[in-house]
Amino acid sequence: MKKWTTLGSAQIPNNGGTLTLAQRDAEFSIRLSGIRGELMNSRVHGSEEALAQLGCARLGEATGARVLVGGMGMGFTLAATLDIVAPSAVVTVAELIPEVIEWNRGPLGECAGQPLQDPRTRVHIGDVAELIAATEDGFDSVLLDVDNGPEGLTHSDNQWLYSLAGLRAIHRALSGEGTLAVWSAGPDPLFVIRLKKTGFHTSVRSVRARPGKGSHHTIFLAKKGAAL
């Protein structure tokens, strides 16, 4: 079997470790120093697409929809969002690590169909939490695939996003009937309690990493306004 070729690396702020991008034939992998196994693989992206499909299900052909995608990853959530929303929509992807954006502008971008080249896409390089905290009634959907879900893995500051204070800020950043969708490696009953405490109508979905197979991941759906 052909060996992996390292294409680039990036340092996560606040001593979060080092991300490494590698390629083997048409397959890409992102790994984190100190963690066994992969953070992401271009062959396994079903749950990332499910995050967009569930979180944007109510938007359909809504005119001028505004969506925030927290975490670029390999671009699959962004691409799935663009497949759903109308031509008039604006989709902002927030990514803390500039190199991840550059990787997706390079050969990695082919995996998800180069979603950064879509004219509806806007890029915010910086902490998604800061963008959310500075926004009021700005998004119809917020899709978070940041770190490893509510249990932060790579960047301790991400814990604020999933705290009561962070969830209140997300609630303010959403429009009157807005939806929050959060990707997680697994279930977290305490996070569901926090969502409900901050005024969200909440449901939990289990999705597969690949269609019909692969590991199970969790999508938390939280609706502002009327119930889900």
Q: What is the pLDDT of residues 99-125, one digit of tens each?
A: 999 999 999 999 999 999 999 999 999
Q: How many Å apart are CA 39 and CA 101, to the nearest integer? A: 16
Domain ranges in the chain? 44-223
Give yes or no for residue 165 having a pLDDT over 90: yes
Confidence (pLDDT) at 212:
67
Q: How many Å apart are CA 10 and CA 204, to the nearest integer? A: 33
Average pLDDT over all residues of the chain: 92
Q: Which residues contact 45 (CB under 8 A, 6 or more apart)?
A: 74, 76, 112, 209
Q: What is the pLDDT of residues 30-73, one digit of tens each?
A: 999 988 778 899 999 999 999 999 999 999 889 999 999 999 99
Say if pTM beats, i.e. exceeds, 0.85: yes
Give yes or no for residue 210 having a pLDDT over 80: no
Give the closest residue to 173 by CA, choosing from 84, 94, 63.
Answer: 94
Domain 44-223 has CATH 3.20.20.120: no
Read off the tokens for 109.
Answer: 């971008």
Confidence (pLDDT) at 152:
53
